[in-house]
Structures are given as structure tokens and as C-alpha cells.
Amino acid sequence: MKFDDLDAKMRVFETASDTCVLPGLYMVARIDGRSFTRLTKEVHNFEAPYDVRFRDYMVATVEHLMQCGFRVIYGYTQSDEISLLFHQDETAFERKLRKYNSILAGEASAKFSLLLGDLAAFDCRISQLPSENLVIDYFRWRNEDAHRNALNAHCYWLLRKQGQTVDQATKALLKLSVAAKNEFLFQNDINFNNLPNWQKRGIGLYWETYNKPGLNPKTNEAVVTQRRRTRVDFDLPMKEAYDDFIRSLLKD
């Protein structure tokens, strides 16, 4: 059998389940660390509940994903997860889901592993969102989840430091309301409102333009050119202000 005939015969088996995102839909990728609790608490023993080194690894991974060939207009990270918002007109790989899922998971795993100096893996799935409002709701959801996770994490690790076991601390938190958790921290000299905003709301990355001084090699005259770079925002707005922020990114 000629190669072209064999190629055509076999290619159908790996593309039979191809699904492409319809034009006009927004794509948001969520990329999650696999078994990161064990990786960060047992294997590498990062500081709990938050570690600046781990935070910076995640930020660097988001920056890498925003520059690896896709039109990403916003990147967001909290805990061990990353969310990427693609331009509505993104057409890379004909919008095939298997390509986005495999490439983004692979790129994130490779970048984070290099930073960590150890094996780390991520998975990826794509949300297909038909409206701006659903895009805003998605990022509001992850923003609020970061806030909830931060409150629980600070309470949990405070209980662990006070001598409680994993089961005891977990069960104790189930009985506490949000107000009670805040009061518990306050009674132990932790004002949750004063904790760094990146812990409570996550970190956003988006593009900005800046002026770069240079020299015209032909005329030897000083010139200024516009360049684009990612901006890392450790102080994201909250609630309706965050909605407005996401809406403004969609207008670019």
C-alpha cells in the first residue's frame, strides 16, 4: 500500500472524534495541577498556606502560556489553577479542542517542571461561552473561589499548627460559617482583610503597551517605538469592579 493511501486510511482513526469550537464563541481554558497537594506539601514542602516561590512559578507559567502561539487576552491564576481567555476571533488549529487541551496542558507541565526542577503535570479543559456576560461570570466565579479558598486555607493551617490532625481540622471547618472563620482568625491575630490581595483574589495577567527608546540604525537618530508586554496584577478588583475590569478586556 502506498504511503499516501495508508496515511489517509489511518488518519481517520485519530481525527474521528475531532470537535471544533464554533465561530463567535469565547474560549476559556482552565488548566489544573495534577496531584499538586502531594507535590507541594509532601515532596517539596512549600510554605502553607501560601508560598511566594510557588506563586511566582505559577505566574511565570501563565506568562509562558500567553506567549506560546495563541491569542490570549487575559490570564488568571489562583492556587494551582490557571484560566486563559482567548480572543473571540482566535482560529489557531481550526479551533480543535484536542489541540488546545493537549498543547496547553503540555506547555504548562513543561514550563512548571523546568521551574520546579521536578516533574509536574497539568490537565486542561475548555469552556465554550456564547456571551460576554458568561465570560464575566466565569472569571467572577474563579475570583470568588479564590476568596473562599484563602479563608479556608488560613483557618485550616492555623488549626494544624495548633496541633489538630488533618481529619480534625477538616471537620472543624465544616461547622464554621464565614463570619466564624473570620472571627477565629482574628482571635489568633490574623485579620483576613489585611492579608495580601493576591492570596484572596488571585493574580491577573494582561497585555499593555509601552514606549521603548531606540536608535534608528540608518539615521542614527533617537526614536521611540511601541512594544507590548504582559502586566502582572497582584491587586485585582473585587465584585462589580472586577466584572467591569473583565468587560474592558473584552473590548480590546
Amino acid identity, position 132: E
Q: Are 57 and 64 in contact (CB under 8 A)?
A: no
Amino acid identity, position 126: I
- Please tell me whether residue 162 adopts helix, strand or coil conformation: coil
Residue 111 lies in a domain: yes
Residue 203 lies in a domain: no
Structural domain including 56 reads: 18-143
Residue 204 lies in a domain: no
Q: What's the angle, vertex CA 125, arms to CA 120 and CA 129, rounded to 5?
A: 145
Structural domains of the chain, count: 1
Q: Are 26 and 85 in contact (CB under 8 A)?
A: yes
Q: Are 50 and 78 in contact (CB under 8 A)?
A: no
Give mean pLDDT, residues 30-44: 94
Residue 74 lies in a domain: yes
Residue 50 lies in a domain: yes
Residue 11 lies in a domain: no
14 pLDDT band, cuts 50/70/90, is confident
214 pLDDT band, cuts 50/70/90, is confident
CATH number at residue 137: 3.30.70.3000
Summarised one tens digit per residue, pLDDT across range 57-74 is 999 999 999 999 999 999
Residue 213 lies in a domain: no
Closest residue by Cα to residue 36 from 176, 149, 173, 167: 149
Distance CA 127, CA 119 (A): 27
Within 10 Å of residue 13's Cβ, how many Cβ atoms?
8
Summarised one tens digit per residue, pLDDT across range 67-120 is 999 999 999 999 999 999 999 999 999 999 999 999 999 999 999 999 999 999
Q: What is the pTM of this model?
A: 0.91
Q: Are 33 and 105 in contact (CB under 8 A)?
A: no
- Please tell me whether residue 10 adopts helix, strand or coil conformation: helix
Residue 224 lies in a domain: no
15 pLDDT band, cuts 50/70/90, is confident
